[in-house]
A and B are shown apart, each in its own frame.
Chain A
Amino acid sequence: MSEMVKKMDRRAWGLKPSGLYAGLLLLLCLAAWPALMGPYVLHVAILVCLNILIVNGLSIIERAGQLSFGHSAFVAFGAYGSVLMSMHFGLSPMAGGVLALILAAIIALVLGGVILRLKGVYFVLVTFAFAELTRLALMDWADLTGGANGIAAIPAFELFGYAFDTRPRFYGLVLVAVAFSIILTYRIFRNPLGEAFRAVAENGALAESTGLSVYRLQLLAFIIGCMLAALGGVLMARYIGFVSPESFNLNVSVGLVTMLVIGGRGSLWGPAVGAIVLTTLPEVFRGALQTQHIFYGIALILILRFLPGGLAGVPGLLRGRQKVS
């Protein structure tokens, strides 16, 4: 029994409280730096944070054993949902945002309820199809969504009258959201619930025999994960000031999964590492975009071959090696 616990522990790097605090502190230090570097770097930092938020949602779903290739659709539900509800019902951004989250949860409940009995690649394919269907719907129902032209001039996010209309202010808001998502992920992973998720992911039949319902647990993970994606969408729409279906296409979904895998599945910090690496590198190595993407492809292949725990798993590997020898 203690062997099993030790094994689980090794994989769950960063789940000790000291790990969480150290990591959050590091992020905070890193986060202060873009604020001093000018509007463009700040812009990139905000995009990084939004991605961390969204990929954390993906990470929770993955924890329970399913890989969703439709995550971008839920970002879209958050973005379009909150904007449309604010526009048509005259709601404040916050109210619109909350309603959008509820909408996303309902869609996740219904969709997940139907598709979660599929496993592995079949689940991948159906979420893939769902993402494409969502994008086509957004394009087609132009009366509601603005179609291919999208919706422009979206007002900034507001909380009780305080408008987050400058970049630094919005950065603060999004940092809070990111911290929230990381703490939430941490609590879930640490919680018996997280252990249940993992049990279900590793061996569904075994988990069922101990009384866990694979279906219900995966559905719960799916709903929570999709709500985080929607939250990212709500904030993103208010920041960019513009939404269009093209921002939620299949490449985005695949990109999110890539961030998770390169960053590290099963790790608390995987999403953060993946988002930071994959969002900033194009900006750092400006130009030669194709070469970069070739590197991502190779990185993906190498990581799956040699580093299944992703980049975030590297310290754990080093530590593990020390222990074992």
Chain B
Amino acid sequence: MLIAQATVNGLVVGLLYLFMAVGFTLVFGVMRMVNFAHGEFYMLGAFSAYVLTTGLHLPFLVSVVLTLVAAIVVGGLLEYLILKPLRKDELNGMIVTIGLAMVLQNGALLVFGPDPLSMPAVITGTTRIGSIVIPNSRVYVVVFAVIILALLYVFLRYSRSGRALRAVVESFQIASIQGIPARVFYPLGFGLGVGLAAVAGALMAPLFVVSAFNGTTPLLKAFIVVILGGLGSIPGAVVAGLALGLIESYAGLFFKSSTADMIIFLVVIVMLVLMPRGLLGKGDV
């Protein structure tokens, strides 16, 4: 029974992690860039939802949609203005995102202060399936996460820009030979990636507290999910996200939580060494 509850917990949390990570892997797949500011966009998404809902009293879902749109636009702009000269330079591009992360986190600290803020719950109560309990707030997020991921899938598979992005992930050279303009797909890829981070943050804001320090955990989880699943592979991220959630949940049953964390990082290192491409990754190492 405990195992069953732990399994459900693990899958739910795994979906949350996947949702946090998918933007990260998209950015790496399209631009070969490790975006250290990924977590900060998640954090800003949460603040955006907070401000729009409690400050402007907009309905929650409206706030989420606005956050998504704003993040895509801002992300695209940032890419164009700041990251453009470093498009071919993986390492330095990554370091620039570190600088960006510093600016974003401390900017949020300046504006909102260090005290964690609490967002009013969107939905309360629990869902019970047999003896298994799932908080409704998490079900809510999971449902939307699945919807957004489905939309993402449709976009990547069937729309023109989506297919262009996928082509870039498959092979950069071939994509550019095909004449897909860099000035479009770079900002688009980055904007979409950080937009996904921001919308994850917005949806999850009512689950926990909203704080300028919230960005570290999504970044770490994204790292882990994406390394395990393969940098640039979205199906890989799906598998890895769920696996991570399950591993954490089961390990948490039998070990102290700190031991569980250690095991996960060990697995990550082993994975990077033995299978750097991850379970389903693409691109060269």
Contact = CB atoms under 8 A, between A and B. Distances in A.
Find out whether A and B make contact in their complex, taking CB atoms under 8 A apart as touching.
yes
Given A129-B272, A140-B258, A291-B110, A300 B98 contact: yes
A124 B34 CA distance: 10
Contact of A258 (B98, B227, B285): B98
Interface stretch (A14-22, A52-60, A114-122, A229-237): A114-122
Interface stretch (A77-85, A100-108, A131-139, A178-186): A131-139
A301 interface: yes
B146 interface: no
Given A125-B227, A140-B256, A305-B85, A118 B276 contact: yes
Contacts of B123: none
A129 B91 contact: no
B101 interface: yes
A250 B98 CA distance: 12
A132 B100 CA distance: 22
Please classify the interface of chain A as helix (H, G, I), strand (E, B), loop, or mixed, using the class held by over half of its residues. helix
B265 A114 contact: no
A121 B36 CA distance: 11
Contact of A257 (B95, B100, B103, B268): B95
A95 to B, nearest CB: 30
Interface string B243-285: 0000000000000101101100110110011001000000001
A298 B90 contact: no
A136 B91 contact: no
Interface residues of A, number: 39
Interface in B44-103: 82, 85-86, 90-92, 94-96, 98-103
Nearest to A114: B273
Nearest to B274: A114
25 contacts: A115-B269, A118-B272, A118-B276, A119-B285, A120-B90, A121-B90, A122-B285, A124-B91, A125-B223, A126-B273, A129-B265, A129-B268, A130-B265, A140-B256, A140-B262, A257-B95, A293-B102, A294-B102, A294-B107, A297-B102, A297-B103, A297-B106, A301-B100, A304-B99, A305-B85
Interface of B: 32, 34, 82, 85-86, 90-92, 94-96, 98-107, 109-110, 216, 220, 223-224, 227, 256, 258-259, 261-262, 265-266, 268-269, 272-273, 276, 285
Interface of A: 67, 114-115, 118-122, 124-126, 128-130, 132-133, 136-137, 139-140, 250, 254, 257-258, 261, 289-291, 293-294, 296-301, 304-305, 308
